[in-house]
Amino acid sequence: MNNNKTRSSRPDDDSGFSNERVLMLVFESINWDPHALCLTACVSRKHRAVANRILWRDLCVSRAPRMVSALVNGTQNGRGGEWHALAKLLFFCCGSAMPSQHFKLESPLPGHFAKASRFSKTSGQSFLRKRCEGDVLYVSDPCEHGVEAGNNNGDGLGVFRGVFKGFHKSRTRDWLIKRRVDLEERIRCPYCSAPVWSMTRAGLVPMSASKRLGSHHGGLEYFVCVNGHLHGICWLVPLSSDGDDITDDDNDEYRSGTLEKGNSSGEVVLIAIQ
């Protein structure tokens, strides 16, 4: 009786392992398409469990290997929810669900898949006060939402996002905790649903952040959640022909598309999602 149960359970175990392997091969063949992975995770609880355990992690590692390696210190351990949040952050512009105390919008701005996203560690340094130097932060270029979503001055609206490396041991978190900065009551992280701090309220928005984004000083606001995910919005100043261009010579840059090898200097060529 027991032997029959044992023999009957083995095919199910093997089938489960085979199905996971098949899913991995399928996603490898389509370059880890995030749209297809989202649909797969919605099929059933089993598919969602496989996505949380394996697929979200492999998506992140495949699309931004150096960035992910830096964030996790060369290891790939972590809970499924952490990988899901990171994958969502890499590919999804969160928009703006509600106005905050320091930034008013006439109507909510819905989130969407970003056609292309470029993350930079050098850009992240522009978002850190001197007291927080030494922290590692990757920040995306702003996703431009056009003048129709902008203010009365004709400025467009930009939405940006980012992630800290080792946020629980960062100087930014340590400063927020020691100063007892209150968490926001109405706003949550759009990537992991955790509570957030307003960096504007905390006085941690340097002028260099506005310059990096192409915005007026005071024309932006961003939040950091207790897990180290950053999201924010800003007014984008229209570019003029005689204006100063902001350049970025950082080699640690990533687009949430297919990575290709670059030249010998370490620069990478990246292809946006089709």
Instruction: In whole angstroms, give the CA distance from residue 209 to residue 126.
Output: 5
Statement to judge: residues 170 and 213 lie in one domain: yes
Statement to judge: residues 78 and 137 lie in one domain: no
Statement to judge: residues 57 and 113 lie in one domain: no
Domain closes at, from 60, 89, 118: 89
Q: What average pLDDT does the segment 80-85 reach? A: 81
Mean pLDDT estimate for the chain: 79
Domain closes at, from 28, 63, 89: 89
Statement to judge: residues 232 and 100 lie in one domain: yes
Statement to judge: residues 126 and 228 lie in one domain: yes
- pLDDT at res. 146: 67
Statement to judge: residues 44 and 132 lie in one domain: no
Indicate the angle between helix axes 80-91 and 34-41, nearest 10 degrees.
140
Statement to judge: residues 27 and 138 lie in one domain: no
Instruction: In whole angstroms, give the CA distance from residue 168 to residue 176.
Output: 11
Tell me 135's DSSP state. Answer: B
Look up the domain containing 212 and give its range: 94-271
- pLDDT at res. 87: 93
- pLDDT at res. 78: 56
Statement to judge: residues 133 and 84 lie in one domain: no
Burial 230-262 (b: 16+ CB within 10 A, else e): bbbbbbbbeeeeeeeeeeeeeebbbbbbebeee
Is pLDDT at 14 greater than 90 in this prediction?
no
Which residue has better confidence, 261 or 173? 173
Is pLDDT at 107 greater than 70 in this prediction?
yes
> 59 vs 33, 39, 53, 94, 267, CA distance in Å?
8, 14, 12, 19, 22
Q: What average pLDDT does the segment 154-175 reach? A: 91
Is pLDDT at 5 greater than 50 in this prediction?
no
Tell me 96's DSSP state. Answer: B
Which residue has better confidence, 239 or 220? 220
Tell me the H-state helices in 72-158.
Answer: 80-91, 121-125
- pLDDT at res. 18: 60
Domain closes at, from 74, 89, 104: 89
- pLDDT at res. 268: 31
- pLDDT at res. 151: 55
Is pLDDT at 102 greater than 80 in this prediction?
no
Is pLDDT at 75 greater than 90 in this prediction?
no
Q: What average pLDDT does the segment 131-155 reach? A: 78
> 196 vs 82, 225, 227, CA distance in Å?
16, 4, 9
Instruction: Give 235's pLDDT tier (boundaries 50, 70, 90).
Output: confident
Q: Which of 88-102, 114-128, 258-272 has the lowest mean pLDDT?
A: 258-272
Q: What average pLDDT does the segment 34-49 reach? A: 91
Instruction: Give 12's pLDDT tier (boundaries 50, 70, 90).
Output: very low
Instruction: Give 251's pLDDT tier (boundaries 50, 70, 90).
Output: very low
Tally of structural domains, the chain? 2
Q: CB–CB of 102/126 below 8 Å?
A: no
- pLDDT at res. 81: 65
Instruction: In whole angstroms, give the CA distance from residue 117 to residue 123.
Output: 13
Statement to judge: residues 251 and 148 lie in one domain: yes
Statement to judge: residues 120 and 226 lie in one domain: yes
Statement to judge: residues 82 and 98 lie in one domain: no
Statement to judge: residues 77 and 131 lie in one domain: no
